[in-house]
């Protein structure tokens, strides 16, 4: 049976039209139904082992572990429930990777993604990818000034008004192939002798 690419299993509505709606975003941030994915140093908060499951935190729960200044990104909406990702600062006082805490453990998605239900692995990959981009694009690639987050985390803009360059998350298409030798007799080509 072919292995499923779990990262292609996302079911979230990315809600692109809502990213610039500040009132809607503020209401969703505090909505008790809203769920948050916590990311720390590229690791995702996960519950359990058999199989590992995405730890989806309430607004109240994320407020306990994330400082005000944490990077927050809208991932999308599923069945009317908004999903955000929060990147905890590198030096935040959170448990070390692998250490079990009440709400789960911060783990490397590369090690456990294939064991998770596909929609959850895709959700965490989405969160991790966006946070990775933000962490590495804090400064404008055009003029070097600081850039700041816009469009609910799907854009960064240079803080220098004279530059105002817009930057967007990278998309990295990737293909993995298996090279296989095919044993088959091919008639010689008189124009291209080998
Ligand atoms: Zn700039």
Percent of the residues in the chain that have a pLDDT greater than 90, as a whole number:
64
Going from the Cα of 155 to the center of ligand 1, the distance in angstroms, rounded, reads 14
Whether the CB-CB separation of 132 and 123 falls below 8 Å is answered with no
Q: Which of 157, 41, 150, 160 is nearest to 93 (CA)?
A: 41
Domains of the chain, each with CATH number or no CATH: 6-138 (3.90.79)
pLDDT reported for residue 130: 95
pLDDT reported for residue 74: 98
Residues β-bridged to residue 109: none
List the structure tokens of 167: 């930057």
Going from the Cα of 164 to the center of ligand 1, the distance in angstroms, rounded, reads 6
**Is the pLDDT score of 156 beyond 70?**
yes
Give residue-wise pLDDT tens across range 14-33. 999 999 999 999 999 999 99
Q: Which of 45, 53, 112 is nearest to 84 (CA)?
A: 45
pLDDT reported for residue 194: 65
Going from the Cα of 139 to the center of ligand 1, the distance in angstroms, rounded, reads 8
List the structure tokens of 194: 């080998």
List the structure tokens of 87: 């990147």
Whether the CB-CB separation of 70 and 119 falls below 8 Å is answered with no
Give residue-wise pLDDT tens across range 65-80. 887 778 999 999 999 9
Going from the Cα of 141 to the center of ligand 1, the distance in angstroms, rounded, reads 7
Other CB atoms within a 10 A radius of the CB of residue 62 amount to: 23
Going from the Cα of 158 to the center of ligand 1, the distance in angstroms, rounded, reads 4
């Amino acid at each position: 049976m072919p292995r499923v690419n779990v990262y292609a299993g996302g079911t979230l509505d990315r809600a692109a039209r809502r990213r610039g709606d500040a009132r809607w975003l503020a209401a969703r941030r505090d909505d008790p139904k809203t769920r948050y994915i916590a990311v720390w140093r590229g690791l995702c908060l996960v519950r359990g082992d058999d199989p590992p499951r995405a730890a989806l935190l309430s607004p109240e729960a994320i407020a306990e572990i994330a400082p005000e200044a944490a990077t927050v990104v809208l991932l999308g909406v599923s069945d009317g429930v908004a999903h955000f990702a929060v990147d905890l600062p590198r030096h935040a006082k959170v448990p070390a990777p692998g250490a079990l805490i009440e709400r789960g453990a911060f783990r490397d998605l590369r090690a456990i993604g294939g064991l998770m239900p596909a929609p959850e692995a895709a959700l965490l990959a989405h969160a991790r990818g966006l946070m990775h981009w933000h962490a590495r694009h804090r400064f404008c690639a055009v003029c070097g000034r600081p850039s700041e987050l816009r469009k609910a985390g799907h854009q960064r803009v240079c803080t220098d008004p004279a530059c105002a360059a817009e930057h967007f998350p990278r998309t990295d298409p990737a293909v993995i192939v298996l090279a296989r030798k095919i044993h088959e007799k091919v008639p010689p080509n008189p124009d291209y002798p080998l």
